[in-house]
């Protein structure tokens, strides 16, 4: 796909509506993680430098079309101001007189944050009239919120059809990275998909076996595949009712020449608790009360060999119960190996999804991957091959 970027726009003195994702975690009225604020900084600073009037649009939580004081974006203005080193004005509505007055006071290079879009039901309904009210505040539209691009809302879809539309820097980086991973990757391409449930990633697995050269499956979902192949999983988490589905995916992988890498050894315990006694077992060698909680060392070694033989890696989901040591070892070891290859320029390594980001942070290597997406649902839907409305709206 092709889309306009900021270097193609005449920005000086223009009112630029920027869709950001400031749906940040809050604790006691204060931001507990400002990652999403920092992600928007390159776009904000580029617009300010060019002399644009920067008007920020975001949702926060789920007020469902009503004004909920605890879901106001006002607490975001001051921390954002500290990050950009300049004042950030705040308007207590995103449309109407309050927004218009605040926008009228804005000077070139100034920044204005509008109140929660979802205070208006028209946002999630992609209501044309609400989109027109938003559009009246700007001359250009910039989407810098890939994490919200899987929703056809007024601020992610409707606006892009009313104003000249551009991708912000965070959006551009995300789309470029995902194109490197799945759109036009350098082959061979290896996928790693973990997590607990096959049922939550059916579309993903079904799509990936048509795109990848190898696909490693880990986490609880690997138990379902092992069960489908006739291996005993004892007390392990397993969606036994999806055995036929797992076998269908195995056959589809064969038809598309995608090599499936399932565990060849496992780490088991009777308790999923920190410091619990863990034992390495061969497949099917579990006692009746034991649970599979991580991939074994032979499985990790084979995965590392697959990484060494690949040019591109796309990763979603941990290989075990990484939140509970010692069942984080497979995920941490594999992540560090991938990161070392990426840092050495031998592998394009792209990862995403909430648990994946947490796992890479546990391993201390998130900064060494080629790209790590924090987009969650949008990242998954992209991997599933689905069209994202917010991305499609930028296509030119």
Catalytic residues, by residue number, are 36, 197, 354, 377
Q: What is the C-alpha radius of gyration for the chain, rounded to an integer number of angstroms?
A: 23
The closest alpha carbon to 373, from 316, 325, 291, belongs to 316
- For residues 244 and 394, what is the distance between their CA atoms, to the nearest angstrom? 40
The closest alpha carbon to 156, from 396, 395, 389, belongs to 389
The closest alpha carbon to 330, from 263, 282, 260, belongs to 263
The secondary structure of residue 223, as a DSSP letter, is: H
- For residues 11 and 44, what is the distance between their CA atoms, to the nearest angstrom? 12
Pairing of strands 348-352, 371-373: parallel
CB 186 within 8 Å of CB 169: no
Three-state secondary structure string covering 13-61 = CCEEEEECCCCCCEECCEECCCHHHHHHHHHHHHHHHCCCEEEEECCCC
Instruction: Return the beta strands (E) in 188-251 as ranges.
Output: 189-193, 214-217
CB atoms within 10 A of CB 136: 16
CB 373 within 8 Å of CB 173: no
Which residue do the tokens 């390495």 mark?
280
- For residues 297 and 4, what is the distance between their CA atoms, to the nearest angstrom? 47
The secondary structure of residue 373, as a DSSP letter, is: E
């Amino acid at each position: 796909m092709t889309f306009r970027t900021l270097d193609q726009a005449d920005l000086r003195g223009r009112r630029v509506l920027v869709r950001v994702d400031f749906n940040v975690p809050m604790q006691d009225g204060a931001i507990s993680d400002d990652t999403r604020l920092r992600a928007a900084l390159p776009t904000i600073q580029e617009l300010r430098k060019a002399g644009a009037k920067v008007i920020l649009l975001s949702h926060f939580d789920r007020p469902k079309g009503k004004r909920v004081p605890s879901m106001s974006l006002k607490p975001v203005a001051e921390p954002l101001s500290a990050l950009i080193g300049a004042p950030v004005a705040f308007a207590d509505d995103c449309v109407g007189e309050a927004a218009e007055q605040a926008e009228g006071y804005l000077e070139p290079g100034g920044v204005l944050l509008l109140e929660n879009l979802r205070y208006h039901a028209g946002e999630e309904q992609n209501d044309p009239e609400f989109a027109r009210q938003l559009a009246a505040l700007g001359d250009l539209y910039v989407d810098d919120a890939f994490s919200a691009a899987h929703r056809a809302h007024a601020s992610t879809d409707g606006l892009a059809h009313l104003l000249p539309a551009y991708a912000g820097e965070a959006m551009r980086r995300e789309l470029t990275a995902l194109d490197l991973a799945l759109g036009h990757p350098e082959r061979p391409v290896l996928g790693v998909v973990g997590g607990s449930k096959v049922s939550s990633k059916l579309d993903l697995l079904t799509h990936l076996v048509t795109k990848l050269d190898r696909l490693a499956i880990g986490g609880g979902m690997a138990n379902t595949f092992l069960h489908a192949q006739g291996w005993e999983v004892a007390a392990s988490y397993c969606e036994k009712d999806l055995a036929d589905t797992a076998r269908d995916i195995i056959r589809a992988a064969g038809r598309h020449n995608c090599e499936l890498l399932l565990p060849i050894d496992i780490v088991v315990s009777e308790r999923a608790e920190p410091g619990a006694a863990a034992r390495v077992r061969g497949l099917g060698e579990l006692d009746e009360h034991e649970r599979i909680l991580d991939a074994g060392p032979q499985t990790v070694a084979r995965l590392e060999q697959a990484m060494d033989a690949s040019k591109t890696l796309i990763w979603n989901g941990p290989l075990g119960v990484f939140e509970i040591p010692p069942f984080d070892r497979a995920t941490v070891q594999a992540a560090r190996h991938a990161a070392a290859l990426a840092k050495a320029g031998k592998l394009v390594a792209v990862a995403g999804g909430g648990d994946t980001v947490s796992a890479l942070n546990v391993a201390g290597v998130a900064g060494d991957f080629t790209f790590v997406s924090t987009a969650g649902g949008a990242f998954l839907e992209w991997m599933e091959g689905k069209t994202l409305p917010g991305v499609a709206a930028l296509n030119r």
